[in-house]
Structure 1
Amino acid sequence: MLIEYRAYTLHLGAEELFWEAQRERGEHGLRPIFERLIGAFATRSGPTDQVISLYRYDSFEDWHSRLYGIYGQTRLQPYFRVIRPLIARQESKFLLPAPLPELTPHWGNGQDWLPAQGALFGADSLVEQTTLSFSAGGVPACWEAFRQHALDDDPVALNGVFAAFSSIAGALNEVLIYRRFPHLEALREHRQQLRHSSAWTSFLRSLAPLTVASDVRLLEPSPVADMAPLFAH
């Protein structure tokens, strides 16, 4: 299993044009990659006019054949002519699911959710993306610290967690943790609870010598139904 993280930073003010182009492209042209889509999200903190997408592929070969197979399709050329000028910068990296089932209950460790299985969450959802960037060796140390501080027994630490991945290509030595909340107030309450969680605080402090940077972003699921298969519409 291979997870792709793809980020499109759009030109300022282009987000709604991006979603409109998605509505007009039709349902079937991007099916090969949308069969593997976890979700597309708009950033609501951090970079403005940015769209982040997560895909789950069987392998690098599966990624290559599905993605590059759509570029030559004649019926998609009008869509590409509209969408490409909206994008100022593209980034991509490959991830693997965390080796801990508690952190990734839907991908890896014997689990394999795909869009065809239907939505997991309600329409009114917000997603928090936490990225921990480490020096070399930090990722296995992160998983070991999770075990040592018994975060699997801490309901606050696991609240809302639906995925966790580590990078293997692109920006290396990163751990990305995704949490889902029904509304902003629930997210704020959870952040406050984390500050008072001794297990979570000890976990972070133990990783501090290996931590290069940390980043938390608020993401909103795509308003286009086939780009947000995790969420009911």
Structure 2
Amino acid sequence: MIIEQRIYELRPGSLHEFLKTYEAEGLAIQTRAFGRLLGYFTSEVGELNRVVQLWGFDSFEDRNRRRAALSAQPEWRAFLGKCVSMVVSQRNELLTPTAFSPIQ
């Protein structure tokens, strides 16, 4: 298994609008394509105006296939059009669990 950590830095003041739009429109689309949402978080201290997503995939190839399928969906592209102005930056990391990680 690999875990993709996606971190979005949002324009100050847009966090609640982003979360509301994502929950109402983006979450179902992305969950259908990816399947394994491990967690969705906001930051309370430190770097603010951020959301962090953790998605689980069977392999790097599984991730690539699922991402391509998601990107091909017109409804996903329409959702992105609503949120792109709220996002300042995005960072992705692919994480591999250790042998003793509770998430495998």
The TM-score normalised by the length of structure 1 is 0.42
The secondary structure found in structure 2 opposite 1:21 is helix
Q: For residue 73 of structure 2, what is the amino acid of its counterpart?
A: Q
1:147-189 superposed Cα distances (whole Å, 9 cap, x missing partner): xxxxxxxxxxxxxxxxxxxxxxxxxxxxxxxxxxxxxxxxxxx
1:53-112 superposed Cα distances (whole Å, 9 cap, x missing partner): 111110011111112211121122321111121110000111111222xxx22x22xxxx
Identity %, equivalent residues: 27
Which protein has the bigger helix share? 2
Q: Is the 8 A contact 2:26 2:76 kept in 1?
A: no
Look up the match of 1:82. Answer: 82
Residues 1-233 of structure 1 mapped to structure 2, 5 A cutoff:
1-25=1-25, 28-30=28-30, 31-33=32-34, 35-100=35-100, 104-105=101-102, 107-108=103-104
The secondary structure found in structure 1 opposite 2:46 is coil
Give the distance between the partners of 1:5 and 1:27, measured in 2 at CA: 16
Q: CA deviation at 1:39?
A: 0.9
Q: For residue 12 of structure 2, what is the amino acid of its counterpart?
A: L
The TM-score normalised by the length of structure 2 is 0.88
Segments of structure 1 that go 5 or more residues without pairing to the other structure are: 109-233
Quick one: higher RCO (CA 8 Å, sep 6+), 1 or 2? 2
Question: Which runs of 4 or more aligned residues in structure 1 lie more than 3 Å from their structure 2 counterparts after TM superposition?
Answer: none
Give the distance between the partners of 1:15 and 1:26, measured in 2 at CA: 15
Q: For residue 17 of structure 1, what is the amino acid of its counterpart?
A: E
Give the distance between the partners of 1:27 and 1:46, measured in 2 at CA: 26
Computed over aligned residues only, the root mean square deviation of the Cα atoms, in angstroms, reads 1.6
Structure number with greater Rg is 1
